Structures are given as C-alpha cells and as structure tokens.
Amino acid sequence: MKTSTQSIILVLVLLAFVSCQHQKQVKTSPSLKNTFINDFLIGTALSANQIEEKDSVADALIREQFNVLTAENIMKSMFLQPAWGKFDFTLADKLVEYSKKNNMAVVGHTLIWHSQLPRYVYRITDKDSLKDFFTNHITTVASRYDGKILGWDVVNEALNEDGTMRGSIFYKLLGEDYVTEAFRLAQQAAPNTELYYNDYNIEQPKKRAGAISLIKKIQEAGVRIDGVGIQGHWHARRIPLQEIEESIVEYASLGLKVMITELDVELLPRNFTGADISERMKMKDDLTLNPYVSGLPDSVQQQLANDYEALFKLFLKHKDNITRITFWGVNDGQSWLNGWPAPGRTNYPLLFDREFKPKPAFYKVIGAKETLN
Ligand code: G3I
C-alpha cells in the first residue's frame, strides 16, 4: 500500500515537473514585432556579443520581439576598415547571415560619421587623401551588402544644434557638398538599398530646418534619399511630442520614409539633451548623478511607462509615414546610457530589464496598440 502511494506521488511530481517545463517554453509576453506587424518594423541594436550569439537568453528575446536589426557598433568604419584599404567584414557578415536565418531585415549603421573613424583618418590633412578614403569606403561597403540589407544610414549626425553644418573632418576638407556626394556614391554602389540621413534632435525646430535644407539639396541634385532617421534619444517627463509630430509630418512631406532609429528614454540626471558622444559629465561621489543603483522607484517606473505609451500612440497616429521604430539596445543592462555621459551609472532606458523581463513600459507600448483595436 505504502509503495503504491509513493508511486502515485512520484508520478504526480513528475507530471507537475513536465507541465512546469512546458509552461517555461510557452511565451508569456506578447511580441512587439507581431503587435505592430501592420504598422511599422520594430528593431533593436545588437552588440558584438549578441551578433556572435553568445548570449542565448538575449538571442531568444531578439528572435521573439524584433524584425529588424542595426549593428550598434560593428558596421562603423573603425571596425569595417581598421587599416587603410583592408576591410574586415567578419562580424558584419555574421549579422547579415543571422538576420537571413531569422527572417529579419538589417539596417547598416553607418557609412559616413565623424565619430568612431579608423585612427588613420583623423591624421589625414589633405582633401585628396580623405576623398580617396571616402569614395573607397562607401563604394566597397555599400556594394558588398546591396540586395542583402534593407537600408544604410549613409550619413550620420552632420548637423549642429542650430542647424548649421558640423565642423567634422569631412566638412572641413571636402566642403558642404560631402553629404550629397556620400548619397551619390551610395546610390551608385547600392541601387537596391534604401538610403537614409540619420541624426539626433532633428525634431527640434532649428536642427530640423537644417536637416530639411540638407535633404532638399540632395534631392535637388537629383540624388536619391529614401528616408530620414530621427534617433530618438529622449528624456523621461520631457518627451518633445509636439516637435516629434511636426517633424514626422514635415519630413514625410518631402517624400521620405520616417524612422525612429535609436529609441531610448533617459531616466538619470543630465543637463543637456541629445547624444553628442563628446559631451561628458563628471561623476560625483554621492548618488546625485546615479540615484537608482538599487532599483527604480515605482513612480519613476510608471513615468517611463507613460512616456513610452505617449510615444507609441503618436507613432501609431502617423503609422502611414513611419516605417520603422528601432530601440537602441535589447535590455537596460546593455544600454550605452550606463556608460555615457558619465561612466558606471545604472540606467533603465529600454523596455526590458536586466533579466530580460518586460517592464511596465513594455505592456503600455503593447496597450497603445490594443486601445486602438
Ligand atoms: O572597441 C573598444 C574596445 O576595444 C575596448 O576594449 C572597449 C573598452 O571600453 O571600448 C570599445 O569601444 C567602445 C565602443 O562603443 C565599441 O564597443 C567605446 O568605449 C564606447 O564609447 C563606444 O560607445 C558607442 C558610441 O556610439 C560611440 O560613439 C556605443 O556603444 C553606441 O551605442 C553609440 O551609438 C551612437 C550611434 O552610433 C549614433 N548615435 C548616437 C549613439 C549613442 O552615442
């Protein structure tokens, strides 16, 4: 009798275990990419670690939630052309293969940017040498991936906050027309790839006016530009919804696809907006600049959720003109905002927490769609 009771208990325990394992495999959260399937692509930026599929938890989440990928760093020129004329496509090719295998699109980021250039470029002082680098880099890289990726951020961050041209090495040595020339070269090398201008704060009126005039110059030169990327590095409680809406409408009226390309919402103290990597803040000993080391208070968590909800309601209102929303990273632990503008902070700017669990902001984003149905 005792033996048969023990056997029954054993069977019940086994059944409970099997059922529990099964439940673990059942998806518990909705998916962003499926929720917005008829509205816009939903993307994320991947670090080298994730491209190499070293992190299986991240990998599962990426496959479940996103349908377009941007390389956070490895398609920048310092990685693709580390020595003059010597290209290294190992990781970039891996990203393209990974996306193909998982039925995802890829956006190349970025062909021409003043930052993260190979060191030898910063030493160039004459126009001809820079022109050689510029032409060879764009032509080699853009043609390699033509037909394999969806689009390129051809030029990144060419503008100052007041809408004038940033005094980058390209502007100084090649002149103002370098932006149009970059698009002309990309168009020749990649006829089957979409071509974008990408920048932060270009929803702000002065910088927006600068971006519009830059775009019009490209168009008037008869050169193709398909879209504009508003990066979307915004701040909690201070999301510029009105400026974002005006910008979507104005950029779309130029015949462009509009994309939000590097979305995250800053929760830590910072006395400037945007994403200029040269800006830094000095860390103090106290927690003034790093207040949430041991967790996010509920009220702040809720604020983040409300900000994301407001953003997605706005994006849905303009879904006919928006083709893609890309988050700048997969989870909070991996975000660049833990290291910039002050190192070693604990930030919470994304929809998934450090354990890859969906945050309240995730459910508000999904809810923004559901309330419309
Ligand atoms: O490659 C070195 C590595 O050799 C070294 O061991 C390691 C030690 O810190 O640093 C590595 O370089 C880091 C690089 O990312 C690649 O991982 C840099 O320190 C780090 O500053 C750099 O940050 C990137 C930043 O661009 C550089 O400008 C961020 O990850 C990336 O998220 C950020 O992305 C930019 C977009 O491309 C353009 N828009 C703004 C956005 C945020 O700055």
pLDDT of residue 273: 85
| Minimum CA distance residue for ligand 1 atom 39 | 275
Q: Which of 9-13, 24-28, 59-63 has the highest mean pLDDT?
A: 59-63
pLDDT of residue 284: 66
The model's confidence at residue 5, banded by pLDDT at 50, 70 and 90, is low
Where do the DSSP E strands lie in 163-219?
194-199
Given the residues 72, 181, 203, 262, select the one marked as catalytic. 262
pLDDT in tens, 302-322: 999 999 999 999 999 999 999
pLDDT of residue 274: 87
Q: Report the pLDDT averaged over residues 104-117.
A: 98
pLDDT of residue 264: 98
Q: Give the torsion sign (CA, 230, 235, 239, 240).
A: negative
CA separation for the pair 307, 305 (Å, rounded): 5
As a whole-number percent, the residues of the chain with pLDDT over 90 amount to 83
Q: Do the beta carbons of residue 133 and residue 121 sit within 8 Å?
A: yes
The model's confidence at residue 2, banded by pLDDT at 50, 70 and 90, is very low
Q: How far is the CA of 277 from the centre of ligand 1 (A)?
A: 9
CA separation for the pair 267, 68 (Å, rounded): 26
Phi, psi of 156 (to 5 degrees): -120, 130
* For residue 371, cis peptide bond before it (omega within 30 degrees of 0): no
pLDDT in tens, 268-279: 998 888 888 888
The question of whether 246 is a catalytic residue gets the answer no
As a whole-number percent, the residues of the chain with pLDDT over 70 amount to 91
Closest approach atom of ligand 1 to CA 48? 17
Lowest-confidence segment of 21-25, 172-176, 228-232 by average pLDDT: 21-25
Q: How far is the CA of 73 from the centre of ligand 1 (A)?
A: 6
Closest approach atom of ligand 1 to CA 339? 21
| Minimum CA distance residue for ligand 1 atom 19 | 339
Given the residues 157, 181, 194, 309, select the one marked as catalytic. 157
Q: How far is the CA of 362 from the centre of ligand 1 (A)?
A: 26
Whether the per-residue pLDDT at 18 is higher than 50: the answer is no
